[in-house]
Amino acid sequence: MLVVRFFARVREELGRDVLEVPWTDRVADVDSLQEHLCTAYGVHWRRVLAQDNIIRAVNRAVVHGNSPLDDGDEVAFFPPVTGG
Amino acid sequence: MGVDGDSGVWVQEADFDIAHLQRELVARAGDAGAVATFTGYVRKNNASREVHTMELEHYEGMTESSIAAIVEDAAARWPVLAARVVHRVGRLRPGEQIVWVGVAAHHRDAAFTACEFIMDYLKTSAPLWKRECGPGGDAHWVAARRSDEERLLRWDVSGESRAE
């Protein structure tokens, strides 16, 4: 199982903070997972997740570009950070 | 609520006592000749909008680990004896403390520089998000500032470890 989390504006726009996706070889990397979510949840999700400033993290570390996923991984999608 | 005593990073809803934090930092440092600290506060106005409350959301676990990594990075660059970071989350009001960074060193150069480095890096890589609510109940997410990104260039930070 993959755990997928959304934060801040992305969470609000999607109306979800967390969901689980069964791990298969069709969601074996972050790009494939994102495409899977967009196909499963529709055009609104595709528009939100396609924004070019969206940051992606795997197991609580930011990834740049695509990244492989294993069963049990946690993936997060969030906007640029504004703490401090 | 994340508490990690070993890394010296606390992410919490509760307010904090700066005097207590500084005494604890000095005690941990052992032989500090200098302590530099930074405290961030919620402003009454931001981008010409009145702020009634500010809500800070974060990615529990990643916030703590990413700030701890920044502190480790600072300690690898400068002769730091001890460093502490406290960041609040949840609902805050104007005038309240948001963040505190304290760095102890033998001399002021390392303390000043490492404190500024930690704060600059925290603002652009720790997964925290501010949402401001106005007096009429209108709310919006605070936008990331390009000037915060540009400040990072001074530190020669590699793109691999940044959040954007």
Reported as a single tens digit per residue, the pLDDT across A61-81 is: 999 999 999 999 999 999 999
Name the minimum distance, in Å, from the CA of B125 to any CA of chain A: 7
φ/ψ of A79, rounded to 5, equals -80, 170
Residue A1, amino acid: M
Alpha carbon distance A62, B145 (integer Å): 19
Q: What is the pLDDT of residue B158?
A: 53
Q: What is the pLDDT of residue B7?
A: 75
A60 CB near a chain B CB, below 8 Å?
Answer: yes
Q: What is the pLDDT of residue B43?
A: 94
Alpha carbon distance B120, B70 (integer Å): 10
Cα of B109 vs its chain's centroid, Å = 19
State the number of CA atoms in the 13 A half-sphere of B70 facing the CB: 30
Q: Give chain A's length.
A: 84
Angle, CA B81 vertex, CA B76 and CA B85 arms, to 5°: 80
Q: Is the pLDDT of residue A35 over 70?
A: yes
Of A1, A7, A3, which is closest to residue A49 (Cα–Cα)? Answer: A7
Could you list the pLDDT tens digit for every one of the 164 residues in chain B?
333 445 799 999 999 999 999 999 999 999 999 999 999 999 998 888 899 999 999 999 999 999 999 999 999 999 999 999 999 999 999 999 999 999 999 999 999 999 999 999 999 999 999 999 999 989 999 999 999 989 998 898 554 444 44
φ/ψ of A74, rounded to 5, equals -115, 125
Q: What is the pLDDT of residue B38?
A: 98
Of B68, B97, B73, which is closest to residue B85 (Cα–Cα)? Answer: B68
- Check A84 against B98: CB less than 8 A apart: yes
B143: chain A residues, CB-CB within 8 Å: 80, 82
H/E segment holding residue A26: none
- Check A81 against B125: CB less than 8 A apart: yes
Q: What is the pLDDT of residue B47?
A: 80
Chain B residues at the A interface, defined by Cβ less than 8 Å, are: 40, 56-59, 61-63, 65-66, 87, 98-99, 119, 122-131, 141-145, 159-164
Alpha carbon distance A67, A25 (integer Å): 13
**A8 in the Ramachandran plot: left (φ > 0), alpha (ψ -120 to 50) or beta?**
left
Give which of B141, B142, B149, B151 to mutate to test A binding, by max A Cβ within 10 Å: B141
- Check B126 against A83: CB less than 8 A apart: yes
Q: Give A53: exposed, middle or buried? Use CB within 10 Å, 0-12, 13-18, 19+.
A: exposed
- Check A64 against B159: CB less than 8 A apart: yes
- Check B130 against A82: CB less than 8 A apart: yes
Name the minimum distance, in Å, from the CA of A2 to any CA of chain B: 17
pTM (two decimals)? 0.91
- Check A82 against B127: CB less than 8 A apart: no
Model pLDDT for residues A37-64, shown as the tens digit of each residue: 999 999 999 999 999 899 999 999 999 9
Alpha carbon distance B157, B45 (integer Å): 31
Q: What is the pLDDT of residue A30?
A: 98
